[in-house]
Chains A and B, each alone.
Chain A
Amino acid sequence: MNLFAVSRASVSVEHDDDLAPRLREALGGPALAIPPETDAFLEDAARMAARRLSARRRRRVLLAAIPAAAAAALALFLTLRAPRDARDVNGDGRIDILDAFALARAIERGGALRPEWDFNGDHAIDRADVDLCAHRAVELRR
């Protein structure tokens, strides 16, 4: 089912370093991630619906759901294409302390680092960039 396919792909994007760049390239956007809440919501909704419906009604509902699914997929696609704030390091659609934490972990573990995470433009991704990311998370004016 389309919804599941998209959802699984998004999970892969979060956890599969190889797939992410390919998908990113295919979609033409600078960043690609689906907020986990969106992901979980779609999966849960699909499972619940599947459980409730009889086999016959499922077919009918599925037919009726195709346009809705297509619209949802399009909305998701547009979301994916929208430029993401570089400070959303963990790609969950929010800017909070978890982004700074994700960046700190990536630096400590020697993980893949993106150039846009060089927030202070000093050609190095280091603690100063983590601090910038964390300070943005606690700004009340956001």
Chain B
Amino acid sequence: MRKLLIPALLVAACTKDAAPPQSPLASAPPRAADRDHDGIADEDGDENALEPPEATEAPRHRAVAASPPRDTATRPRPDLRARGPSVDEVWILARAPRAAATEPRVAPGLRAEVEGREVPLPLARTDVRAKISGFLATVEVRQRYDNPYDRKIDVEYVFPLPANAAVSEFIMTVGARRIRGIVRERAEAEELYREARRQGYVASLLTEERPNVFTQKVANIEPGKQIDIALTYDNTLPWEDGAFTFAFPTVVGPRYNRAGSRDGVGAAQRGSAGASGQPTEVTYLAPDETSRHRVSFTIELDAGAPLVAVDSATHALDQKIVSDHVRRIAVADAAPDRDLVLRYRVASRPAVFVHQGADGATSFALLLPPPADLRQLARAPVEMVFVVDCSGSMDGLPIAVAKRAVRQQLARLGPADTFQIIQFSMDASALGRAPVPATPDNVARGLAYLASLRGEGGTEMITGIRAALDFSPDPQRLRVVSFLTDGYIGDERDILAAVAAKVGSARLFSFGVGTAVNRYLLEKMAAFGRGAVAFVDLGERAPEEAAALFYERVSHPALADVSVDWGAWQVSDVYPERIPDLMVGRPIVVVGRARGPLPASVEVRGVVGGRRVSYKVPLGPAAEHPALAKLWARARVGHLADAALLARDPAAIVEEVKRVALTHGLLSAYTAFIAVDATEPTGGGTAPIVPVSVPVPRGVNAEKSVPR
């Protein structure tokens, strides 16, 4: 279709293998929840699935480096019944995989350099197509599943998306036919999926396990067949320190679950699925294994204002300049082992987007800047508490980077400040019993303590929270807690509830350290702790930059007790409900609903340094964006989820989440997308489940983070 450009003036308003050697194709048993419902082995007598491999037939999966076929035919069948949770594990035997552990793979640019054998997995690739307008992104994520095995399979893939993604479209492509999925209550969608699966129909189910962790299930993929799943989401992009950031996660890091936890996100080695005992589980490739799964990105960036710079510290970008506002960006065949983080700076910030809904109400997204004069004001003395995650997943480069960031910050403290350094893994310990003045001697002691820290053990983050917030506050100083972690814990709720309960008048700043951190946890910790979040990549200059920006933030007072006078605009349902403190370099995005004409400006009021201030934010011409109603609905769902975290009886809140999500056709913790191809059932009974194993995030020590 021809594209017609309109002159601007016309638009006025407008984990590792210690077990006996096993087939790289060994699959997972259905998890406890699935076994309860599906009873694969019982129903279908799937002992038949433990058949010998057909070593002479050609592989269906892509051949890689030339290497001799693996001799799976002579491999002894392990005593599955001696393996505890994997007692009814089903083995999928492929046709003579040719990949072997000989040829090192050296890829250009920032691609992961993995030496190892390629294991055949049913996820071939992920294609991400993003369209960014100002600070709003619409992103299509297309996953291509196929069946490299010699019998019908089901697939389960646990993958990440941004925590504020409003997922509203789901299309399953079977051959040339595209079937749009339906959003339903989760329990109903799960029941429909189980039934379609049992009856042999090709079906898919998308569920949300955490705001940033999702499970895609695809049932009854016949040998040689291909199924594409495309989901579309919208989200707002944060403005962080002078630039908008588009971040797309590609892998869920290996998460630690406290003893007794049964509602976490677990980690297990490939071939040991179910071993974590958690309802949601990610299986990880061994360090000497790789898969063919690659992720490609196509990003159309229309900043709505002249672009000053577009860059990425995580990936090499192929950029095409279309105009001063517009760039087309591509990243081809990236390894799914780290987030793509794209930052773009614009000459002027777009202020507001609106969309008039069918019900007459206008949804809006507004970028609310801090007052310009904050930078001129000096801060009061602080009590700086550094909390360093020293768990196994932080071992190596992540903890080294965290230490560098803390060193930078220590060097900037003034003589009136005090500081404390706390480390936690299975338990917590500290530099001293209480914070000490930031004298040169004390800083030297702190640096020595910092140098002694090592990454080992689990992530009992709650001990770190308690150690940082449970001691008496210093009436002379504002407590600033700086939390450095990858956030790899299976159940975030305890942590967030503890932060909300204990933070008091302190401010908590979270630093995500790593290539694929748990952004949801870090962002929420900062939100509950009335601080801010920063992400420290493992690159060369990252810790210094992050430390400098952090210092800039805490060096000036923030605008607190923020409220907005909307004027004649009849505004309601604004999220975040309580506008957080506005800090230097950190405008925030608020979404809401309104009636009446858009005013020329709104007035922001607050308190800084004990005095009341107000300033006008001009709104300028508004651009319409159809995703705003969904973004508002997602923000409301997020707000309700936060409330449910702290509520004694969250039942009513859950009902409201369902209502909002169903009204707006959104995926949530309580709604799910289902698509069934009811044309014709496949034969061959119920298929075994093959989990899609993923690499551990780049820089993470697999041996110390994925349980054996």
Q: Does B624 contact A (CB under 8 A)?
A: yes
**B176 contacts chain A at the CB level, 8 A cutoff:** no
A115–B4 CB distance below 8 A: no
Asked if A115 meets B2 with Cβ closer than 8 Å, knowing A122-B133, A141-B358, the reply is no
Of A107, A121, A142, the contact of B4 (CB 8 Å cutoff): A107
Cβ contact of A118, chosen from B2, B11, B133, B626, cutoff 8 A: B11
Residues of B within 8 A of A116 (CB): 14
A127 at the interface (CB under 8 A from B): yes
Indicate whether A135 sits within 8 Å of B3 (C-beta atoms), given known contacts A115-B11, A115-B12, A141-B358.
no
- A132 interface hit (Cβ, 8 Å): yes
A135 to B2, CA, bound (A): 20
Contact across chains for B358 and A126 when beta carbons are under 8 A apart = no
B1 in contact with A118 (CB, 8 Å): no
- Proximity bits, A91-111, B CB within 8 Å = 1, else 0: 000000000000010011010
Which B residues, 592 to 631, have Cβ-Cβ distances below 8 Å to chain A? Answer: 622-626
Contact of B302 with A122 in the complex, beta carbons under 8 Å = yes
Q: Please judge, given known A-B contacts A116-B14, A135-B626, A136-B358, whether A123 and B8 are in contact too, CB under 8 Å.
A: yes
CB–CB A124/B3 < 8 A: yes
Answer whether A122 and B359 are a contact pair too, CB < 8 Å, given A104-B1, A107-B1, A115-B12. Answer: no
Measured CA separation A72–B7 after assembly (Å):
40
CB pair B6–A118 under 8 Å, yes or no, is yes
In contact, A139 and B6 (Cβ under 8 angstroms): no
A120 touches B6 (CB 8 A): no
- Classify the secondary structure of B's interface with A: loop
Assembly CA distance A104 to B358 (angstroms): 22
Whole-angstrom CA separation of A142 from B357 in the bound complex = 9
Q: Is the CB of B359 within 8 A of A141?
A: yes
Report the separation of the CA atoms of residues A107 and B284 in the bound assembly, to the nearest whole angstrom: 49
- Name the distance in Å between A99's Cβ and chain B's nearest Cβ: 14
How many CB-defined contacts (below 8 Å) exist between A and B?
Answer: 60
Q: Answer yes or no: A113 CB below 8 A from chain B CBs.
A: yes
- Name the residue of chain A whose CB is nearest to the CB of B12: A115
Query: Which residues of B have CB within 8 Å of A115?
Result: 6, 10-12, 14
Provided the pairs A118-B11, A142-B358 are in contact, do residues A125 and B625 lie with their beta carbons within 8 angstroms? no
B5 within 8 A of A: yes
Which residue of chain A has its CB nearest to the CB of B2?
Answer: A107
Q: List, in ascending order, chain B residues with CB within 8 A of A139's CB.
A: 358
B6 to chain A: which residues have CB within 8 Å? 113, 115, 118, 123-125
Q: Indicate which residue in A113, A122, A136 contacts B623 across the interface (CB closer than 8 Å).
A: A122
Find chain B residues with CB under 8 A from A104 CB.
Answer: 1
**A141-B11 Cα distance, complex, nearest whole Å:** 28
Residue of B nearest to A135 (CB): B626
We find that the number of chain A residues with CB closer than 8 angstroms to chain B is: 24
**Considering only CB atoms, which chain A residue lies closest to B9 in the complex?**
A115
Is B14 a contact partner of A108 (Cβ separation < 8 A)?
no
B384, chain A: closest CB distance, angstroms: 45
Q: Which residues of the other chain, A, contact B2 by a CB distance below 8 angstroms?
A: 107-108, 110, 126
The minimal Cβ–Cβ distance linking A116 to chain B, given in whole angstroms, is 7
B5 touches A120 (CB 8 A): no
Report the minimal beta-carbon distance from B649 to chain A, rounded to whole angstroms: 31
The answer on a CB contact under 8 Å between A121 and B1 is no
B-chain residues with CB within 8 Å of residue A132 when the two chains form the complex = 626
Distance between Cα atoms of A110 and B626 in the complex (Å)? 25
Do the beta carbons of B623 and A121 come within 8 Å of each other?
yes
Measured in the bound complex, the distance between the Cα atoms of B14 and A115 in whole Å is 8
Contact present for B5 and A124 (CB under 8 Å): yes
- A 19-41 to B, binary, CB cutoff 8 A, 1 in contact else 0: 00000000000000000000000
Nearest B residue (CB) for A123: B6
Query: Complex Cα distance A119/B622, Å?
Result: 12
Which residues of B have CB within 8 Å of A118? 6, 11, 14
- Residues on A with C-beta less than 8 A from B8 are 123
With both beta carbons as reference points, the residue of chain B lying nearest to A119 in the complex is identified as B624
Assess the A121–B11 pair: CB atoms within 8 A.
yes
Chain B contacts for A124, CB-based, 8 A: 3-6
A125 to B1, CA, bound (A): 10
Docked pose: A141 CA to B357 CA in angstroms: 10
Question: Across the interface, do A127 and B1 meet the contact criterion of CB distance under 8 Å?
Answer: yes
Bitwise, B6-43 to A at CB < 8 A (1) or not (0) is 11101110100000000000000000000000000000
Chain B CB within 8 A of A89 CB? no
Q: Provide the bound-state CA to CA distance between A107 and B2, in Å.
A: 6
Closest-CB distance, A82 to chain B (whole angstroms): 16
Residues of A within 8 A of B14 (CB): 115-116, 118, 121
- Residues in B with CB closer than 8 Å to A141 are 358-359
Q: How far is the CB of B666 from chain A (nearest CB, A)?
A: 15
Bound-state CA distance A139–B624 (Å) is: 18
Chain B residues contacting A135 (CB-CB under 8 Å) are: 626
Q: Any chain B CB within 8 A of the CB of A13? A: no
Looking at the assembled complex, report how far the CB atom of A140 sits from the nearest CB atom of chain B, in whole angstroms.
9
Given the interface pairs A115-B14, A118-B14, the reply to whether A123 lies near B5 with Cβ below 8 Å is yes
On whether the beta carbons of A113 and B4 are closer than 8 Å, the reply is yes
Q: Which residues of A sit under 8 angstroms from B1, Cβ to Cβ?
A: 104, 107-108, 126-127, 130
Chain B neighbourhood of A119, CB < 8 A: 624, 626
Measured between alpha carbons, how far is A118 from B5 in the docked complex, in Å?
Answer: 10
A19 to B14, CA, bound (A): 26
In whole angstroms, what is the CA distance A118 to B4 when docked? 10
CA distance A110 to B2 in the complex (A): 8
> Which of A121, A124, A127, A135 has the largest number of chain B CB atoms within 10 A?
A121
Q: Can you name 12 A-B residue pairings with CB atoms under 8 Å?
A: A115-B6, A115-B10, A120-B626, A121-B11, A121-B14, A121-B622, A121-B625, A124-B4, A125-B3, A127-B1, A139-B358, A142-B358
In the complex, given contacts A119-B626, A121-B353, what are 13 additional A-B residue pairs having Cβ atoms less than 8 angstroms apart?
A107-B4, A108-B2, A110-B2, A115-B6, A118-B11, A121-B624, A123-B11, A124-B5, A124-B6, A125-B4, A130-B1, A136-B358, A141-B358
Interface positions of B (Cβ within 8 A of A): 1-8, 10-12, 14, 133, 302, 353, 358-359, 622-626
**Chain A interfacial positions (CB closer than 8 Å to B):** 104, 107-108, 110, 113, 115-116, 118-127, 130, 132, 135-136, 139, 141-142
Closest 3 CB pairs of A and B: A121-B623, A115-B10, A126-B3
